[in-house]
Amino acid sequence: MITDRIRSFLDERRPEGPCLVVDRDVVRRNYDALHHALPDSRIFYAVKANPAPEILSLLAELGSSFDTASVAEVQMAIAAGATPDRISFGNTIKKERDIARAFELGIGLYAVDSFEEVEKVARAAPGARVFCRILTDGEGAEWPLSRKFGCEPSMAVDVLTHAHTLGLKAHGVSFHVGSQQTNPGAWDRALASAAEIFRDCAERGMTLGMVNLGGGFPTRYLKDVPAAEAYGQAIFDSLRAHFGNRIPETIIEPGRGMVGDAGVLKAEVVLVSKKSPTDEIRWVYLDVGKFGGLAETMDEAIRYPIRTERDGTETAPCVLAGPTCDSADVLYEKKPYDLPISLTIGDEVLIECTGAYTTTYASVAFNGFEPLASYVI
Amino acid sequence: MITDRIRSFLDERRPEGPCLVVDRDVVRRNYDALHHALPDSRIFYAVKANPAPEILSLLAELGSSFDTASVAEVQMAIAAGATPDRISFGNTIKKERDIARAFELGIGLYAVDSFEEVEKVARAAPGARVFCRILTDGEGAEWPLSRKFGCEPSMAVDVLTHAHTLGLKAHGVSFHVGSQQTNPGAWDRALASAAEIFRDCAERGMTLGMVNLGGGFPTRYLKDVPAAEAYGQAIFDSLRAHFGNRIPETIIEPGRGMVGDAGVLKAEVVLVSKKSPTDEIRWVYLDVGKFGGLAETMDEAIRYPIRTERDGTETAPCVLAGPTCDSADVLYEKKPYDLPISLTIGDEVLIECTGAYTTTYASVAFNGFEPLASYVI
C-alpha cells in the first residue's frame, strides 16, 4: 500500500532509478496482526523475504524470532539484536561446515528432511534440537511449491528416530503449505500428518514438542485475501481436532505476510510502443523487470497492483516488460495488464506489495543495471 | 570445456564456495573461429553475456567491437580499451538521459524499434546512426525468444524514414534469430526481410549500409552444434541470394558463442537424499542454483554438461536442485539428470559451458548466499 510516509519520501527525496521503499509502520502492523491472530505461536520471521537491517532490528525489538537460510542470515539476525535462542536454521540443505559455524554462533535449532542431513547435524551441532520437514501438496498456493523440501510423513518418524539415536533432540515437525496460500484450511491436512508423527514417535519413546506451521500467509496483491484472524482460527481448530487437549508449541514463519504489503517499488516508464501500426496492444517497458527484482512474475505467478498518476482515466491492456536486452524479461504478456491509455514515457509507476522477495532476488548487474535500491523508512 | 588451465587453477587455488573459472585461451579461440568463419563481418561482443574486465580487455586487444545494453556497459567497454566508434548501444529500450550520457561518451550507433525511441535518439544524440530491429520468429533457438524486441519488417521502413526526417542517419537493420540457435539456415528469412527494407528505403531516397546479424551463435552444451564455418557459409549464401552483388556491411553480436564454453562452474554436492525409502529417484542438492547463476535452467531450457570425479561409474537419474529455501530453485526435474550413483555429499561437481549468462544473472544475496565468484585466467 502507498502510505502517506512512502508518498512523502518519494516526493521529497525523488530517488533516481528504480527503488523499493518499505514502511516500517506497516511491518509493525503486520507483526501485531499475526501475533494477535495466533497468540500462542512464536513468530519466526523468514529473513529471506527481506533482510534489510532496519526490518530485522524492528522485528527483533517487537519480540520476533528469526527463520534463517544460511550462516549469513544467522549473522544478520544476531546483528539485529536477536539472541541465538530466537534463531532457527530452517534450510534443510546445509553444508556441514555451515552447521558448525551456526553452532559456534549459538544456534541450537535445525531443520532436516533426510537421514543424511541428520548425520551432518549430529556431527557438527551435537545435542541440538531438530525438526523434520514433511511434504505437502501446496494446493491453493500462488507461488509454485515443488517437492524440493520435506520427506514423506511416514519417513519423518524414522528420520527423527535416527536423530534421537545420534544424540540429537527430536523436537518436532515442520511443513509449508505453499507461499501466498489463500486457503486458511490448507494447514489442516498437514496438521493431521504432524499429529500422527507425534503419536508414532511417542510409541518409540520420543516426545516431540513443536510444530512449525511454516509460512504461506498471503499478502494482498490484486485479489482480496482472508485476514490473519481467519488463518488463526482455522489453524487453532485444526490443532484442536488433531492434537486434542495436548496442543504442542507452535511456531510460524511469515515472510511475505510480514513485509509484502509494506513495500512499494517506484519505477519509470522507459518506452511505450507498438510492434506494428495495426497492433491492438501496446508494449510498456519499465526501468525494472524480472532481473531487477520482479523475479516472482516468473510464469506470471505474482500479479502486482500497479498505480500511475493517470489512474482513473481510460485504460487498455498492454504487455509489460523490463529494460534488459533479454527476451525473457517480460512481466505480463499471456494475461496483459490494464493501464491508462495516456501512460507515457517518463511517467512514474508505483508497484505495490513488493516488500518481499524483490531486493534479494535482483541480479548483481545484469545488462549493467544496478541491483534494486532499497529504503526502509 | 575443462581445460588443463582451469583444472590446474582449481587444484592449486581450491577456492571456497561455488565459482566460475573462465579460460581466456578459449575466448581467444572462439573469437578467431568467428572471425575466420565470417571474415567480412565486424564482431560486436555482447557484453551482457559476461562483462568480466579481463574478457573485455582481451577482446578489445583482439580487435573486437562491443554491443552494450546500458551506459554502465558502455563505460566498461571504454575502460577495456575500446574506442567509442567500436561500441553500439544495442538496447532498443533506453532512457533519454542514458542516450544523452552515451552520446557524451562518444557513442554514435543506436538500436531502435519504434517511432518513440527514434524521437528520443534524435533529441539526445543528434545526427547519430540508428539501425532498426525487426521481429523474427526464433524458430530453432533453445532460449525462448519473445516479441519483446523488434517491429514488423513493414513498419521498419517507416521507423527509419522517421529517423531520417529527424536528422539521424538511417544506417541499417538488425534482427536476432534467437539465442543458442542450432540451425545455420535461421538467418535466411530475416535476411530476405532486411533486403526488402533496403530496397524500400532506397525507393524513398535512403541508402542503408549495414545489416546487424545479431547473436544466436550456439555453444556446445550436451548436444553437438554446427561449427562456426557452417554459420558463416549459410549466412554468406543468404546474403548473396538476397542482396546479390551489393552485399552490405555486416556485424555480428556473439555473446554465448564467444564465452559460453570458456567457463566452468565449480560446485559442491551439499546433500543427496530421497523423499521416501521407496522413491526411485534421488535428489541431489548443489551449492549453486537458479539464483546463484544458473538462471538459464528456467523451464529447463539450457541443459549444462556436468562432470564429477566419479564419471565412468554406474549412473542413475536424479533431480538436481540448488541450495536456497525456494521451491523454484530446482534445476532439472521434469527431465531428470543422469549422475553417478556413488555421488556423495562434499563431492566436487564441474558444470561446463557456464561462461555466459551466469555471473551477472546471479542474485545479489538471495537467502544470504554471496553472488557467484568469478576468476578469469
Element (H, E) at B77: helix B71-79
Q: Are residues B302 and B173 in the same domain?
A: no
Supply the pLDDT for residue B251.
96
B contacts of A115 (beta carbons < 8 Å): 273
B contacts of A359 (beta carbons < 8 Å): 364
Contact B73, B51 (CB under 8 A): yes
**Structural domain contains residue B8:** no
DSSP state of A350: E
Whether complex ipTM tops 0.95: no
User: Hey, of A44, A121, A148, which one would you mutate to test binding to chain B, going by the most B CBs within 10 A of its CB?
Assistant: A148
**Do β-strands A19-22 and A263-273 pair in parallel, antiparallel, or remain unpaired?**
antiparallel
B35 CA: distance to closest CA in chain A (Å):
24
In the block, cell 489453524 appears at: A235
Q: Are residues B326 and B302 in the same domain?
A: yes
From A237, A258, A279, the end of a domain falls on: A258
Say how far apart CA B368 and CA A358 lie, in whole Å. 14
Say how far apart CA B28 and CA B57 lie, in whole Å. 11
**Structural domain contains residue A91:** yes
From A217, A239, A258, the end of a domain falls on: A258
Q: Do A116 and B272 touch (CB under 8 A)?
A: yes
List the grid coordinates of B251.
556485424
Residue B152 has its nearest CB partner, among A149, A275, A329, at: A275
Low-confidence ranges of chain B (pLDDT < 50): none
List the grid coordinates of B31.
573469437
Say how far apart CA A161 and CA A187 lie, in whole Å. 25
> Percent of chain A, pLDDT > 90?
81
Contact B20, B354 (CB under 8 A): yes
Q: Are residues B46 and B66 in the same domain?
A: yes
Tell me the backbone φ, ψ of residue A242, rounded to 5 degrees. -95, -25
Supply the pLDDT for residue A138.
65
Q: Are residues B289 and B361 in the same domain?
A: yes
Q: Are residues A230 and A329 in the same domain?
A: no
From A223, A258, A293, the end of a domain falls on: A258
B contacts of A68 (beta carbons < 8 Å): 368
Contact A352, A371 (CB under 8 A): no
Residue A271 has its nearest CB partner, among B48, B116, B360, at: B116
**Structural domain contains residue A228:** yes
Q: Is residue A145's pLDDT more than 80?
A: no
Say how far apart CA A206 and CA A216 lie, in whole Å. 29
Domain with B28 in it: what CATH number?
3.20.20.10
Q: Which of A97, A99, A135, A98 is nearest to A114 (CA)?
A: A135
**Structural domain contains residue B13:** no
Question: Which B residues, 58 through 97, put their C-beta within 8 Å of a C-beta on chain A?
Answer: 68-73, 76, 90-96
Tell me the backbone φ, ψ of residue B294, rounded to 5 degrees. -95, 45
Q: Are residues B111 and B243 in the same domain?
A: yes
Amino acid at A373: A
Mean pLDDT of A234-250: 95
Q: Are residues A309 and A273 in the same domain?
A: yes
A248 vs A177: which has the higher pLDDT: A248
Over residues A184-220, the pLDDT tens digits come to: 888 999 999 999 999 999 999 999 999 999 988 888 7
Q: Is residue A255's pLDDT more than 90?
A: yes
**Structural domain contains residue B12:** no
Residue B324 has its nearest CB partner, among A47, A69, A117, at: A69
Q: Do B329 and A276 touch (CB under 8 A)?
A: no
Interface contacts A/B by beta carbons within 8 Å? 209
Average pLDDT, chain A: 94
Beta bridge partner(s), residue B315: B340
DSSP state of A147: S
A276 vs A216: which has the higher pLDDT: A276
**Structural domain contains residue A112:** yes
**Which residues of A are catalytic, by number?**
325
A254 CA: distance to closest CA in chain B (Å):
13
Query: Nearest chain B Cα to A149, which residue?
Result: B327
Supply the pLDDT for residue B237.
94
Structural domains of chain B, count: 2
User: What confidence category does residue A143 fall into, taking pLDDT thresholds of 50, 70 and 90?
Assistant: low
E-only strand ranges, B35-192: 41-46, 65-68, 87-89, 109-112, 129-133, 169-174
A268 vs A301: which has the higher pLDDT: A268
B325 is catalytic: yes
Note whether A345 contacts B: Cβ–Cβ < 8 A.
yes
B contacts of A145 (beta carbons < 8 Å): 327
Least confident of A312-321, A359-368, B347-356: A359-368
Residue A328 has its nearest CB partner, among B144, B276, B362, at: B144
Contact B341, B250 (CB under 8 A): no
Tell me the backbone φ, ψ of residue A266, rounded to 5 degrees. -90, 125
Domain with A305 in it: what CATH number?
2.40.37.10
Q: Are residues A206 and A307 in the same domain?
A: no
B306 CA: distance to closest CA in chain A (Å):
20
Contact B260, B353 (CB under 8 A): yes
**Structural domain contains residue A41:** yes
Over residues A91-105, the pLDDT tens digits come to: 999 999 999 999 999
Question: Which A residues, 229 through 288, put their C-beta within 8 Å of a C-beta on chain B?
Answer: 268, 270-277, 283, 285, 287
DSSP states of B310-374 as a string? TBTB-EEEEEEE-SSS-TT-EEEEEEEEEEETT--TT-EEEEES-SSSSTTTSBSSGGGPPPPEE
Supply the pLDDT for residue A102.
98
**Structural domain contains residue A326:** yes
User: Hey, of A93, A280, A298, which one would you mutate to test binding to chain B, going by the most B CBs within 10 A of its CB?
Assistant: A93
Q: Is residue A144's pLDDT more than 60?
A: no
Q: Are residues B254 and B278 in the same domain?
A: no
Structural domain of A125? 24-258
Q: Are residues B339 and B307 in the same domain?
A: yes
User: Hey, of B212, B279, B325, which one would you mutate to test binding to chain A, going by the most A CBs within 10 A of its CB?
Assistant: B325
CA atoms in the 13 A half-sphere facing the CB of B40: 13
DSSP state of A375: E
Beta bridge partner(s), residue A331: none
Q: Are residues B268 and B208 in the same domain?
A: no
**Do β-strands B129-133 and B109-112 pair in parallel, antiparallel, or remain unpaired?**
parallel
Q: Are residues B275 and B229 in the same domain?
A: no
Over residues A320-358, the pLDDT tens digits come to: 999 999 888 999 999 999 999 999 999 999 999 999 999
**Do β-strands A315-321 and A330-340 pair in parallel, antiparallel, or remain unpaired?**
antiparallel
Supply the pLDDT for residue B147.
85
Contact B130, B89 (CB under 8 A): no
